[in-house]
Amino acid sequence: MPERICVAQIGSPHGIRGEVKLKSFTADPLAVKDYGPLTTEDGARAFEIETVRQVRSPAKSQLIARLRGIADRDAAERLTNLKLFISRDRLPPTEDDEFYHADLIGLSAVSVDGIEIGTVAAIHDFGAGDILEIKPASGSKTLMLPFTDTFVPHVDIAGGRIVIAPPAESADEQVEE
C-alpha cells in the first residue's frame, strides 16, 4: 500500500443534517476538497466531500463539510475524530523551502556543530506557526522549537536530518540531563 498522508480530521457534528466540523491539514484549508475521495488510514472507508465552507467566528475559523452519504447528526457523530488520508502520490510537489510534515517526522536532529540531539517526533501548530517537537536521544524531556530559519537553519530530507540551533538554555539543559 502506498504511503498515506493525513490531510484532515473530522470533528464534531454541525447541525442536524449530517454536516461535520473538519480540520484541514492542507496549506489552503479549502483545498482539502480537491483531493477527491479521502479514506480512513487503513483504506477501508472512503468519504467524498460534497461541499465545504469556511465559517469565521470571533474566536477562530473552521471548516464545515457535507460528506456524501452522511445525512443526519447520528451518522455524523459516529465519524467524530476520524482522520482522513490520501495516497502520498496525490500530493503536489513541494517548492525548495517547503516541506510536508510527514517528511520531517523521524528525521535526525543535529546541532550546528554536528552533535546528535534527537529525532523529530511531531510538528504542532498552535496558531502562531509550526513548532517542532524533538525527542532527545538521551530520553530526557522533549524539546520544542519554532520551525523558523533561526532555529532550523538547514533541512536535508534526502540525508535524513535537520540542523537545529536551540536557544542556549535549551542546549544547556540537554547536556546536563
pLDDT tens digits, residue range 103-138? 899 999 999 999 999 999 999 877 778 899 999 988
Q: Which residue has the higher pLDDT, 139 or 82?
A: 82
pTM of the model: 0.73
Place of cell 528525521: 107
Residue 137 confidence (pLDDT): 86
Residue 4 confidence (pLDDT): 87
Q: Which CATH architecture has domain 103-176?
A: Roll (2.30)
Superfamily the domain 4-89 falls into: RimM (2.40.30.60)
Place of cell 501548530: 125
Closest to 161 in 3D by CA, of 133, 124, 119, 99: 119
Half-sphere exposure of 56 (CA within 13 A, CB side): 2
Residue 57 has pLDDT above 60, yes or no: yes
CA dist 24 and 121 (Å) reads: 20
Q: Where are the chain's structural domains?
A: 4-89, 103-176
Task: Find the farthest-apart pair of alpha carbons in the chain and give their distance in angstroms, rounded.
Answer: 57
CA dist 88 and 2 (Å) reads: 7
